[in-house]
Structure 1
């Protein structure tokens, strides 16, 4: 345990393990230097190890974050057959905790990470929502099936005016067709539709806080009664963005939250200049838990409302009407058929309402505001850095970060305008940040009743749609 007060508990709230692994309680300047060195090595190894072993699909993003902290991924290179490092070493301690946390999450987070939820034993598909699971209260998840087909000729689709159509349920999500440009065309499958129902929340200080968070809901999308107008608003927003370098950069920056939120946090951390590595760890854990719980809340509402993306509405509702709109890379704004319009970037394979980005970024912003004690970013953060031709964007508050994160999804053509404030409302307020902070602070103070991850998690209880 790297915490100088001598009583802090690990993330499981396990006093026995924490005491056994505790070291380097600094009482002198020399002890403090040793403590700081061990802490630095442990954190550096942990960041690199996560990207190398447990999240190889995010290794590029983690490597960039690690490099920003002066931690090359090569730090964790090991030879074949090398012995397991002892927890007496800072790198061995880091590895042990990362492995324990990861194993706990894979088994208990309710995301079906190993493909075994529902009882399947072989030929497993990790993270699939195609399973049936019931809890003891009788609540059941029995899979997700889109109400619309992605195909032009659809034998099982409903008829409208005696013609079979693929977009028959205009208030429901439609899988889109995607191509690699080389003849391989496939239909989208809704990504992890189950996690809002089966996923476990983590990090809340009390069961009441967790229950209140999980009970948050949104009314139906207000624009479903005016899709024609809402579709034209998306076309207009994406057309305006084509002439605005700042908006185009924001679309790219916030498309991948791993490429935007952690770098913003790191720049803020280093610009402050008065923070320790322990401060960075605390900030990272609190903000990541806010993001995680926001994802689950947003996903439940996405699947519950099951709303279509702008691409489906524009193509099917406006059809071959000629519109002035974004016509593709290096083409810009042209007069095109609405049915041929595409967003700036890929439309992700999940339903539209609310905006997951605005929900996630608002959860992140609330954690940063509470931790810092205010909303101000001083000095303001400019992106990209000057060495990369910037800044194009400048943020002077976490509210600005959250707002632009959400708005960029409308500029890109991925969301209707009202989905963004809906996502921010769903994950808004400081309740989640306060509860998570109380939980972490209790662990730091040695409270054995506190734990971010409780080893005795109990039954997986569903949150029905």
Structure 2
């Protein structure tokens, strides 16, 4: 009997989550009448995935689930998705597994979108269950069971004899188990909390116990190095508890990449944001006569000016882009449902985007730790404290607990846009609806539709939104753009050997590595 899976919920977050298209300076286009028409049900996605996508996954939108964990989750879904494609693809292309292993194809009669959907849904449900626990995957299993789909879970013994292509659920379970055992649980993210700790010590899941990173500035010590990152004291989730930030998941910089060999990521190192950091005393103030060789004052004034007159439209964009795994990553889904892309091309795009996002995260976090650059939230009130706007400066949204340079969001936006453009996304309809209050803080105030004229303008607005919101300096956005594009090009080189013949991919190069090999 064919099995159905529930793990569409996490995919639904990057797939069916609301996407907001942007247009830099022009105002947002608001749909008359307030209410937006219901979306047309996609024709290319198997019903099992749509059923699973109806189950809510609140943990994925929780503020504590930062970019590394979001992309880690989506990669644990996207890689087995691609493995399922090799088994059930109907066209003549011969896909490998995500890491380049040969695939045992299903009999011709079983190569259907529905079989792929069962395989992919099972893999997604099991991946989410493994990462976050049964409490979050239970609603997905319940939704699919109510629709008549039987999905094996991680403890299912019916699949113990190994994957048989005639049973798509068992194939999906085998794919996700292979990913969990060979990659996810060995990726260096300290998921079990024991990395770097002595035997018997209390575990510290996902926390840094290996890099030795410690901020040079802080609420207690004050600012001793002006251009270095400083933790903030912030309200913890709105409950009135105040906590001092620590740099988020420093061990991400040591995690294993998926597709781009680490040696190639290392070649993408960035120049330091400041060439003369020691020229600035902790008490430096703009306009007081001290030298400003790195033009900190110009950068600070540019950020203050960008946020001086924020419109509701720009505030909406700032918040929407602040969670790229739930916004721009959704554009691959729009290729399928709105652009008429074949299911196989959509799955290849998901592979490329999710692998890119993880590999970019690894390198972006390595650069953030290496440069340890101050964010506007601490630097501007210090060096412009003699001006009313500088002294009162506050970012539009709470800044993430990571150094400024390079901007991770800019890297994600430009890299994903490049991948989509290469794979046929240039014709996407970039008019995207938002419901009232969808991005938080009451924004937008009413149902809206946001439009971009190209993927490039969308990516540009995404990067600039970090400056509008006071979250990053322009140099960090520029560096993020350059790094994101470079990683995206490397990812496409490797995907070309995983899915040869896919329109838009370069030719497969002999000896192409992958899987994070050194």
TM-score in terms of structure 1 length: 0.73
Distance 1:178 1:74 in 2: 47
Match of 1:2 among 85, 88, 99: 88
Go from structure 1 to structure 2 and tell me whether the alpha carbon gap of 1:40 and 1:80 turns closer, same or farther (over 3 Å shift).
closer
Contact 1:268 1:381 (C-alpha < 8 Å) held by counterparts: no
* Aligned counterpart, 1:130: 209
Match of 2:106 among 23, 38, 43: 23
User: Cα RMSD between the aligned structures?
Assistant: 3.8
Kindly report which structure 2 residues correspond to 1:16-415, keeping only aligned pairs within 5 A, or say none.
18-19=103-104, 22-24=105-107, 26=108, 31=109, 35-55=112-132, 83-85=157-159, 87-88=163-164, 89-118=167-196, 120-122=198-200, 123-131=202-210, 142-151=211-220, 154=221, 166-180=222-236, 182-196=239-253, 198-204=254-260, 211-221=263-273, 225-241=294-310, 244-273=311-340, 275-319=341-385, 321-323=387-389, 338-372=390-424, 376-384=426-434, 390-415=447-472
Residue 419 in 1 paired to residue 476 in 2? yes
Post-superposition offset of 1:90 = 1.2
Distance 2:274 2:112 in 1: 55
The higher-RCO structure (CA 8 Å, 6+ apart) is 2
Post-superposition offset of 1:102 = 2.3
Go from structure 1 to structure 2 and tell me whether the alpha carbon gap of 1:446 and 1:412 turns closer, same or farther (over 3 Å shift).
closer
Post-superposition offset of 1:179 = 1.9
Distance 2:303 2:374 in 1: 13
Match of 1:437 among 488, 495, 516: 495
Gaps of 5+ in 1: 132-141, 155-165, 324-337
Go from structure 1 to structure 2 and tell me whether the alpha carbon gap of 1:432 and 1:397 turns closer, same or farther (over 3 Å shift).
farther
Post-superposition offset of 1:348 = 0.4
Post-superposition offset of 1:288 = 1.1
Residues 383-431 of structure 1: CA distance to partner in whole angstroms, max 9, x if unpaired?
4279985544212322122212211111111011221112101222563
Post-superposition offset of 1:44 = 2.9
Residues 61-110 of structure 1: CA distance to partner in whole angstroms, max 9, x if unpaired?
x98xxx9xx99999688799864546342122112211221232234323
Contact 1:48 1:76 (C-alpha < 8 Å) held by counterparts: no
User: Bigger shift: 93-102 or 119-128?
Assistant: 119-128
Contact 1:130 1:144 (C-alpha < 8 Å) held by counterparts: no
Distance 1:344 1:57 in 2: 35
Q: How many residue pairs are counted as aligned between the two chains? A: 393
Gaps of 5+ in 2: 1-86, 278-293, 439-445
Contact 1:11 1:451 (C-alpha < 8 Å) held by counterparts: no
User: Bigger shift: 80-89 or 184-193?
Assistant: 80-89
Distance 2:229 2:194 in 1: 27
Residues 429-450 of structure 1: CA distance to partner in whole angstroms, max 9, x if unpaired?
5632431322322599999977
* Aligned counterpart, 2:61: none
Distance 2:402 2:146 in 1: 34
SS at match of 1:97: helix
Go from structure 1 to structure 2 and tell me whether the alpha carbon gap of 1:392 and 1:298 turns closer, same or farther (over 3 Å shift).
same
